[in-house]
Amino acid sequence: MNKVHPTSFIDETAVLGENIEIGPFCTVGPGVTIGDNCKLVSHVVLEGKTDIGNDNTFFPFSIIGAEPQDLKYHGEPTELRIGNGNTFREFASVHRGTVTGIGETLIGDDNLIMGYVHVGHDCVIGNSNVLANYVALSGHVVIDDHAVLGGQTGVVQFLRIGSYAYIGGASVIDRNIPPYAMGYGNRLEIKGINIVGLKRRGFSRESIAAILDAHKLYYRSDMSEVEALRRIEAEIGDVEEVRLFTNFIREVGGKVH
């Protein structure tokens, strides 16, 4: 059974699942679908063509599914799709896609989107990521899985951040960040690999050592990027965790420096 506070507005075309809690002064607009066990604490706005999965929580003043902040957008029908188990904290804003992009913004499962985070149009966020307070993603940013972005970090458009990356606070990301990388700064510099995060995620000693060797060859040797990548693949390319690193570099065209 759903619980809807009498001060909230639910459009007649909105589709609600089961066991949903909608607190005071919320707005659920036309075209919104909400899955089971979701909670809107208060003063939440859900609008646009927005499809929300199960077990998501939206804290006060979060704005989800708003029109993209793009001067080329002229009211075309675009979408936002959100998976399961995500948390959107106070004043988070997530915008729909654009027809000049992929037409939709995508958020996977089990992400923590903290206060005042901005997720721009056509972004693709995977699973189990943490975006700390005031993180701003420009349009067309891709974040894979299990990444952590520190507070007040900005990401330039059309960039990708790999799985298990850790970015320190107040950084400006103007390049692609490969999996496992740890870095910070304005502009961001990659300092090493996210050893603490990998241990917490249960990576073996052998896997971490192989990732570290790959990182040293690519970033700390005198070889060219092409040579380093070839040597990594020849010597430790059979390690699954290393393949995630090398595949990422090839997919982004080597643009990680």
Over the stretch 35-92, which tens digit does the pLDDT of each residue have? 999 999 999 999 999 999 999 999 999 999 999 999 999 999 999 999 999 999 999 9
Calpha distance 71→120 (Å, rounded): 13
Q: Name the β-bridge partners of 192.
A: 182
Domain that holds residue 214: 198-251
What does the alpha-carbon distance between residue 85 and residue 77 come to, in Å, rounded to a whole number?
26
Catalytic residue among 48, 97, 139, 162: 139
* CATH number (domain holding residue 210): 1.20.1180.10
The reply to whether 213 belongs to the active site is no
Rounded to whole angstroms, the Cα distance separating 135 from 29 reads 26
In this structure, which amino acid lies at residue 81? R
167 and 220 belong to one structural domain: no
130 plus 29 within the same structural domain: yes
**Which residues contact residue 98 at a Cβ distance below 8 angstroms, ignoring those fewer than 6 apart?**
68, 70, 72, 73, 76, 78, 121, 122, 139
- Tally the domains of the chain: 2
Residues 157 and 245 in one domain: no
Q: Does 135 share its domain with 121? A: yes
The helix (H) or strand (E) run that includes residue 207 is helix 205-219
Which domain CATH number covers 90? 2.160.10.10
* 121, pLDDT greater than 90: yes
Active site residue 70: no
Residues 169 and 233 in one domain: no
- Residue from 35, 43, 97, 122 carrying the catalytic annotation: 122
Q: Give the 3-state secondary structure of residue 58.
A: strand
Active site includes 122? yes
**From the candidates 95, 121, 140, 215, which is the catalytic residue?**
121
- pLDDT for the residue 255: 79
Same-domain status, 102 and 32: yes
State the average pLDDT over residues 156-164.
98
